[in-house]
Amino acid sequence: MNIHIRPINEHDHSFIIALAQRLDEVHYMEWRHKEEMRKAQERMAREAIATLDTDSSILIAENEDYQPLGYIHLTKNIDFFTGEEQGYISSIAVAEEGEGKGIGTLLMKRAEEWCKEKNYKQLVLHVFANNERAVRFYENLEYEVEVAKMVKVIK
């Protein structure tokens, strides 16, 4: 399969919003409500599309038939401790029909190139700890856990 990575265009909006629902396919902690998380993922996808600027980008992975199979949303992050600008992966999703074909890896490699173009020295992201498949994927790409968010439900 020949995959091409390109910037978003207006024809991609519905694809991104629909594919954002795949981000909801994890087992959340019991206090997170599935429907609220689904709505939040859709809202975040809409906001990403609406707020594209020089500090952000949405890249689309498509096959030789121009069928979109995945996307990645990149933006700028400011490191809390150093104040240094970093690349930030707000979201990445691959369609079911694109799974296991290296599309996620291609999107991540293109994200690294985007960081180099912006002169960012780090590329960071957040992932739910119980999303073991995603955690392994990032670890295989040499990402490391830096900070862990700890949560306790107060009853």
The C-alpha atoms of residue 130 and residue 155 are separated, in whole angstroms, by: 23
The C-alpha atoms of residue 23 and residue 42 are separated, in whole angstroms, by: 9
Q: What is the pLDDT along the chain (155 residues), one digit of tens a residue?
A: 799 999 999 999 999 999 988 876 777 777 888 888 889 899 999 999 999 999 999 999 999 999 999 999 999 999 999 999 999 999 999 999 999 999 999 999 999 999 999 999 999 999 988 888 999 999 999 999 998 888 888 98
CATH 3.40.30.10 matches 4-140: no
How far is the CA of 79 from the CAs of 28, 120, 125, 135, 149, in angstroms?
Answer: 26, 11, 12, 21, 16
- This prediction has a pTM of 0.91
In this structure, what are the phi and psi dihedrals at residue 56, rounded to the nearest 5 degrees?
-145, 160
Q: Where are the domains of the chain?
A: 4-140
